[in-house]
Structure 1
């Protein structure tokens, strides 16, 4: 799983011209589920930043965003095969959201609408933006290029 956290003064989600969720001071969490992710990764990701939100007595707005796992290595068009699809992704995202609620204060944790076309509005505070991941294999460092004396 991967998440982008933004500390915000305000954030909201609108679907079909209706505000479905909004928060004041807190954290906006964009979260994506990758193939092979399990409840273990969701637990880990939900716990990584909890203390930061508690420290400011803030609110949390979670938004599913599969595009966080896009690859742009080939061509001009993003490849979204790095994101888990369908019902399994929804089940694991919902599990993640429930873990965030359980680990904090359920009434202070709001949600977007999974697989909906959402308008997300925010006022970034700081700005502070963090990228977190759980369960993804680290990208290996490239092998050093030998110098002419090493060949």
Structure 2
């Protein structure tokens, strides 16, 4: 399971010209589910993301988490995070989980984040979405539940 985590002052998801979700200050998380991922992968990322100290304290150091800030999460499913571009010019998505498996783990991840006391909003699974965000910092973190990076 992979995630791109961005510290944002605001972000929103639009589908067919309509805003379906939006948050103010918090984290925008793009989440990709791989073949073979389990609930343990989702819990690992939920723990890591909610406890990541990427918000500034009073001294200006990144020393506070989304939990400390009482911020919001916007979680968007993005299978393209699993793209393999090592061969040829067309990305392969063979490592992406099939939709029925991916949505179950995506929903599990969202629930795990909510259980930690956060307000969590979502995109629309398998929809073509327009994501608008204002990255603060900019701060962008890449995470992988297999700890590949």
| TM-score clears 0.5 | yes
Match of 2:117 in 1: 104
The answer to whether residue 75 in structure 2 is matched with residue 62 in structure 1 is yes
Q: Deviations over 1:17-43 (max 9, x none)?
A: 110000000000000100010001001
Q: TM-score, normalised by structure 2?
A: 0.87
1:94 is paired with a residue of what secondary structure? helix
Number of aligned residue pairs: give it.
136
Q: Tell me how far 1:118 sits from its aligned partner.
A: 0.4
Q: TM-score, normalised by structure 1?
A: 0.86
RMSD: 1.3
1:16 and 1:58 map into 2 onto residues whose CA distance is 27
**Which of 111, 114, 119 is equivalent to 2:125?**
114
Q: Tell me how far 1:92 sits from its aligned partner.
A: 1.0
2:81 and 2:71 map into 1 onto residues whose CA distance is 24
The structure with the largest alpha-carbon Rg is 1
Decide whether the 8 Å contact of 1:9 with 1:123 is kept in 2: yes
Unaligned ranges ≥5, structure 1? 140-151
Unaligned ranges ≥5, structure 2? 52-64
Match of 1:43 in 2: 43
- Structure 1 runs of 4+ aligned residues shifted over 3 Å read none
Q: Tell me how far 1:117 sits from its aligned partner.
A: 0.3
The answer to whether residue 28 in structure 2 is matched with residue 15 in structure 1 is no
Larger relative strand fraction: 2
Decide whether the 8 Å contact of 1:50 with 1:104 is kept in 2: no
Q: Tell me how far 1:104 sits from its aligned partner.
A: 2.6
1:49 and 1:32 map into 2 onto residues whose CA distance is 14
